[in-house]
Amino acid sequence: MSYMKKPQFRHPHIVENDIGFTRRDYEGGMSTLCAGCGHDSISSAIMQAVFELSIEPHRIVKLSGIGCSSKTPTYFLGKSHGFNSVHGRMPSIATGANLANKDLFYLGVSGDGDSASIGLGQFAHVIRRRLNMLYIIENNGAYGLTKGQSSATADVGSRSKKGETNIYNPIDVVSLAIDMGATFVARSFSGDKEQLVPLIKAGLMHPGFAFIDCLSPCVTFNDHVGSTKSYDFIREHNRAVNKTDFIPMKNEITANYPEGATEVIRSHDGSELRLQKLESEYNPVNRAAALDQVVRARQSGTVLTGLFYVDTEANDLHSVLNTSSKPLNQLNKNQLCPESDKLKSINESLR
Amino acid sequence: MHSESVVNDFVVKFANVNGSGSASANHLFAKAVFRSGVPVSPRNIFPSNIQGLPTWYEVRVSEKGYTGRRGGADIVVAMNAQTFFDDVNEVESGGYLIYDSTKPTDVGVLRDDVTFLGIPLMDICLHEFGNITQRHLFKNIVYVGALCALLNMELGIFKNLIKEQFKGKEKLVKPNEKALDIGFQYAHDQLGGPIDFRVERRDLLSNKILMEGNDALGLGAVYGGATVVGWYPITPSTSVVEAFSKYADQFRVDEGTGEQLFSIVQAEDELSAIGMAIGANWSGARAFTATSGPGISLMSEFLGLAYFAEIPLVLFNIQRGGPSTGLPTRTQQSDVVSCAFASHGDTKQILLFPSSPTECFEFSAQSFDLADRLQTPVIVLSDLDLGMNDWCCDELQWDDSREFDRGKVLDAAGLDAVENWGRYRDVDSDGICYRTYPGAHSSKGAYFTRGTSHDSDARYTESGAAYVENVERLLRKYETSKKYIPKPIIDYTEGKKTSYGIIYYGSTEPALRESLDELLEGDLPLNALRIRSFPLHAEVYEFIEQHKTIFVVEQNRDAQMRQLIISQQNVDMSKLVPILHFDGTPITERFISNAIKDYLDPKVMPFSLGQGKRAI
Ligand SMILES: Cc1ncc(C[n+]2csc(CCOP(=O)(O)OP(=O)(O)O)c2C)c(N)n1
Ligand code: SF4
Ligand SMILES: [Mg+2]
């Protein structure tokens, strides 16, 4: 397997990243979503993040379930392998793929229906297992693809387009993720690329399970007055706890941050997460505090965004299982298949 | 009473309470028969419960090598008060019943055609063993010691087995030997020594082993190169994964680093278990899952995805009994139709039917080649009888020169060498296309795998023409699969012409072979065909063509294989007489022979075709 990129001639005006790829190399097919759909903004944030991280597109694996959100992997990173699985079951496919080859980056894209209803079990369990992946829920509080039914993340009292008021308690995927042991948990908004792109970068590079709950309004079915997942409602109620900047290990740190208000979180690989504190007392390395913060905000009706929790000591499923450092899908017959003399002694033991 | 002793041809049945430690003692007995060189077939009949309910362990001893379940018992070791009276009734006339005579009871009045042999087991253990656990456990070993004397077996064989069993825990050898000696002596001194049933040493098992089908499947998966396992516990499939884990710990841990060259994840449910196996296979690792009963129903959505998106997958289905939770600890062959067409839409799967642990091992290893070659799920259909009992079978063999067949996969060099690759282009006209693994090449070979309808370049399409083209190619691939999957095995009776044939599959094998002999002895020769895979080969239909009447012997209510036979090709249905056994116990020679004799006997009410003979 070769990860070498052949040099290609490019027009001098086209911007290339560190490894010589242009933005176009990270594009996908034409989106067929409704114009203005939040999901399309997330796709473009993903393309920008991967471009800026200078990851070769073939080293990313895109996975999704079923829904408008789960369709989006067709619309970005066209040079990456993708897997559009079945409704709510992307985490298990991601687990198998990752177990087979630990050397690639795994990016899962799901919806609130896909992850908080039919797939709630798989969502919770993939977190428990610490799969090394970035998991994004494109959260619109509704089932877009089946025409606007309320989803399990819709708030009590939120009205659907048909005028029905949601009477069931919402599932907060962020507090669930924190509680299940995710080692990187953030919430963002499709309309705030400045906040979202660094979070995607940091999440992709995180060496464990990273989760972003990305509010992503459904313009067709859930963007009206009375919905708590509309563009207007989110903009009015959004409160960011911090501003993240992700600095890969190879980059020199050039940005200037005001002393005292910036938290620097270093990873083992030398990269840095710089968090500009917007809420003076907030510290994202404490799981209990993160949960407390998230629950309080929910009670007060605030849409809290930012990086809530990160564990710098994160590890992943492979380290728990102690699997081979060479990807399992690259082991050959000599490594996998015992010789026939071994079988002889097994025969002997069965007499 | 027998006038002379019966040698190497009888059944011993142990009636115990589960959780009482009897299983390993009973196994010790079966293994000692095996070590005497005489074919033996132990069967565990156990409840879906951990402690306190009745369990039975039947050991058939058969010099002729008949290892199917016989039914009835010549010697019953009745250790369960709850089932005592039933167990007494179970003894064949002229047989023996061994019981705990600590509390005086007048058992003799129960039957006058049975010899009652009382051993004060509780009393003996109370005096001989100090702690309570030992007293309970060694009761079992004491009756095994007694059996050794009663059947005139060699005590040394039992003692060697004890030594092997407790290798590394030598402290346990002595008390076990003591318990054996006590039982042996008691039977010798107080019960008059050997009875009318005897085990005599033979040398009939030189190339045989005693192995469980699930153990063989797990081992086969290690030889087949499986590296990823997703699973969810369910009887009777759990021990497939346990076996894989045991052998992987032995053979797949890197000596230098201690790293595992495999991964096993206990999933949150069967959907997740099969999803993991699909994800891993998609990424180029060999992966499997194992399940039973309800688990198969849960996996069906993903089976459709793997079929339609053409992802290799190995699934071991260890069938149990009944719809829903059914008979969780009993055996049947009742998932044949649901697996053949598992999942909605036009879906067809590949099935393999092993009929012995030896074949479980072979099919398990081979299934990974087949799944890779055919890029589709391969479902290996075993069952509880084959999976969870020790079968006396041919020893396992492996050819070191054998390579994995990874099928049509393009790596970076392969991709550079072809022009215009498309994931679902049938360039070889066999229905099988070329796939790539994620990350294989820096700029080529990426595609989007989906369960939605797709064109030959894996692009989403709702075009009817593209859909039809795709699913017709899948049919072509299905046809191609017959070249690779195991062909049926046909046995024509030597030197005798017959217009009767039998079709059967899987764990029915030993009972059926015995039945063929029995019927031949009664001057009723039958030709037999054993189906080993689905889709069915042309040979199956030729065989049907050659005979006037075909008995299709199965362990389910609905004649499921017969349904498959008539669903795949034009065939005269009236020729196919179903013989169906489905009470959850393994099918017996007696059942098969009687059903066929009844069918052919003009005095017996004619059975209507399509109804056939059923177990009562
Ligand atoms: C097993 C199954 N049940 C139901 C559906 C129908 N279905 C398709 S998408 C969807 C909901 C998707 O909602 P969400 O994940 O929030 O995605 P969105 O469209 O809102 O982005 C449903 C119920 C399905 N595809 N599969
Ligand atoms: S229906 Fe809603 S979620 Fe789906 S594409 Fe349209 S706006 Fe987006
Ligand atoms: Mg949604």
Q: What is the band of B443 on the pLDDT scale with cuts at 50, 70, 90?
A: very high
Residues of A in contact with B404 (CB under 8 A): 333, 337
The 10s digit of each residue's pLDDT in A135-161 is 999 999 999 999 999 999 999 999 999
Query: Nearest CB to B280: which of A81, A100, A324?
Result: A100
Residue A256 lies in a domain: yes
Alpha-helical segments (H) within B129-224: 132-150, 155-165, 173-190, 213-223
* Residue, of A281 and A113, whose pLDDT is higher: A113
Q: Which amino acid is at A306?
A: G
Would the CB atoms of B260 and A323 count as touching at under 8 Å? Answer: yes
Point out the least confidently predicted range of A63-72, A92-101, B21-30, B50-59.
B50-59
**Residues B504-513, mean pLDDT to the nearest whole number:** 98
Query: Nearest CB to B450: which of A80, A84, A323?
Result: A84
Among residues 25-44 of chain B, which lie with CB inside 8 Å of chain A? 34-35
Q: Is B541 helix (H, G, I), strand (E, B) or coil?
A: helix
Residue A175 to residues A180, A197, A304, Cα–Cα distance (Å): 8, 22, 12
> Quick check: A246 pLDDT over 70?
yes
The 10s digit of each residue's pLDDT in A199-236 is 999 999 999 999 999 999 999 999 999 999 999 999 99
Q: Which amino acid is at B463?
A: S
**Residues B512-516, mean pLDDT to the nearest whole number:** 97
Give CA–CA dist A171/A298, Å, rounded.
11
Residues of B in contact with A327 (CB under 8 A): 285
> Quick check: A303 pLDDT over 90?
yes
Q: What is the dihedral of CA A268, A274, A277, A283, to 10 degrees?
A: 0
Which DSSP letter does residue B396 get? P
**Residues B452-461, mean pLDDT to the nearest whole number:** 97
Q: How far apart are the CA of A89 and the nearest CA of chain B, in angstroms?
A: 7
Q: Measured from the CA of A38, which atom of ligand 2 is nearest?
A: 8
> Quick check: A3 pLDDT over 50?
no
Three-state SS letters, B35-88: HCCCCEEEEEECCCCCCCCEEEEEEEEECCCCCCECCCEEEEEECCHHHHHHHH
**pLDDT at residue A268, as a whole number:** 80
Closest of A259, A332, A169 to residue B286, by C-alpha: A332
Residue A286 lies in a domain: yes
Would the CB atoms of B259 and A323 count as touching at under 8 Å? Answer: yes
> Quick check: B156 pLDDT over 90?
yes
Residue A3 lies in a domain: no
**pLDDT at residue B473, as a whole number:** 98
In order, the DSSP letters of A156-215 are TTPBPTTSPBP-SPPP-HHHHHHHHT-SEEEEEETT-HHHHHHHHHHHHH-SSEEEEEEE
Q: For residue B598, what are the contacts with CB-CB under 8 A and spacing of at least 6? A: B604, B607, B613
Q: What is the band of A250 on the pLDDT scale with cuts at 50, 70, 90?
A: low
Residue A336 lies in a domain: no
Point out the least confidently predicted range of A257-261, A318-322, B328-332.
A257-261
The 10s digit of each residue's pLDDT in B367-426 is 999 999 999 999 999 999 999 999 999 999 999 999 999 999 999 999 999 999 999 999
Q: Is B560 helix (H, G, I), strand (E, B) or coil?
A: helix
Residue A11 lies in a domain: no
Does residue A195 contact residue A244 with C-beta atoms inside 8 Å? yes
Q: How far apart are the CA of A267 and the nearest CA of chain B, in angstroms?
A: 24
Closest of A66, A98, A306, A350 to residue A184, by C-alpha: A306
Q: Whose atoms come closest to the Cα of A145: which ligand?
A: 1
Which residues approach ligand 1 with their CB closer than 6 A? A 66-69, 87, 111-114, 138, 140, 142-146, 151, 218
Rounded to the nearest 5 degrees, what angle is found at the Cα of B39, between the Cα atoms of B33 and B45?
75
**pLDDT at residue B606, as a whole number:** 54
Find how far residue B121's CA is from the centre of its chain. Answer: 35
Q: Whose atoms come closest to the Cα of A146: which ligand?
A: 1
Token pair in block for residue B526: 């039958």
Q: Which domain holds residue A44?
A: 23-321
Would the CB atoms of A333 and B443 count as touching at under 8 Å? Answer: no
Q: Measured from the CA of A65, which atom of ligand 1 is nearest?
A: 15
* Residue, of A102 and B135, whose pLDDT is higher: A102
- Strands B208-212, B390-394: pairing is antiparallel
Closest of A31, A33, A38, A32 to residue A222, by C-alpha: A38
Residue A13 lies in a domain: no
**Mean of the per-residue pLDDT values for chain B?**
95
Residue A1 lies in a domain: no
Question: Residue A82 Cα, ligand 3 centroid: separation in angstroms?
Answer: 20
The 10s digit of each residue's pLDDT in B35-93 is 999 999 999 988 888 778 899 999 999 999 999 999 899 999 999 999 999 999 999 99
**pLDDT at residue A10, as a whole number:** 58
> Quick check: B32 pLDDT over 90?
yes
- Strands B9-17, B54-62: pairing is antiparallel
Alpha-helical segments (H) within chain A: 38-53, 68-71, 90-100, 112-116, 120-128, 173-180, 193-205, 231-237, 287-300, 317-321, 333-336, 340-349
Q: What is the band of B1 on the pLDDT scale with cuts at 50, 70, 90?
A: very low
**pLDDT at residue B520, as a whole number:** 96
- Strands A133-139, A209-215: pairing is parallel
Choose, out of A5, A55, A89, the residue to mutate when testing the contact with B (most B CBs < 10 Å).
A89
Question: Residue A164 Cα, ligand 3 centroid: separation in angstroms?
Answer: 17
Q: Is B397 helix (H, G, I), strand (E, B) or coil?
A: coil
Residues of B in contact with A350 (CB under 8 A): 209-211, 395
Closest of A229, A210, A251 to residue A157, by C-alpha: A229
> Edge-to-edge strands of the sheet including B500-505?
B489-491, B527-531, B500-505, B549-554, B576-580, B613-614
The 10s digit of each residue's pLDDT in B187-213 is 999 999 999 999 999 999 999 999 999
Give CA–CA dist A9/B68, Å, rounded.
73
Residue A344 lies in a domain: no
Other beta carbons within 10 angstroms of residue B571's beta carbon come to 17
Would the CB atoms of A343 and B396 count as touching at under 8 Å? Answer: yes
**Residues A292-310, mean pLDDT to the nearest whole number:** 94
Question: Residue B281 Cα, ligand 3 centroid: separation in angstroms?
Answer: 29
ipTM of model over 0.90: yes
pTM exceeds 0.90 for this model = yes
Would the CB atoms of B287 and A96 count as touching at under 8 Å? Answer: yes
Domain count, chain A: 1
Q: For residue B292, what are the contacts with CB-CB under 8 A and spacing of at least 6? A: B234, B235, B236, B237, B317, B318, B319, B320, B384
Q: Whose atoms come closest to the Cα of A70: which ligand?
A: 1
The residues facing B576 across adjacent strands are B550
Does residue A70 contact residue A88 with C-beta atoms inside 8 Å? no
Q: For residue B406, what are the contacts with CB-CB under 8 A and spacing of at least 6? A: B372
Determine what percent of chain A falls in helix, strand and coil, rounding each to the nearest 5.
35, 20, 45
> Quick check: A251 pLDDT over 80?
no
The 10s digit of each residue's pLDDT in B97-131 is 999 999 988 888 899 999 999 999 999 999 999 88
Q: Is A133 helix (H, G, I), strand (E, B) or coil?
A: strand
**pLDDT at residue A258, as a whole number:** 55
Give CA–CA dist B312/B409, Å, rounded.
12
Give CA–CA dist B479/B257, Å, rounded.
45
- The CATH code of the domain that includes A170 is 3.40.50.970
**pLDDT at residue B78, as a whole number:** 97
> Quick check: B3 pLDDT over 60?
no
Q: Which amino acid is at A300?
A: S
**pLDDT at residue A12, as a whole number:** 65
**pLDDT at residue B616, as a whole number:** 34
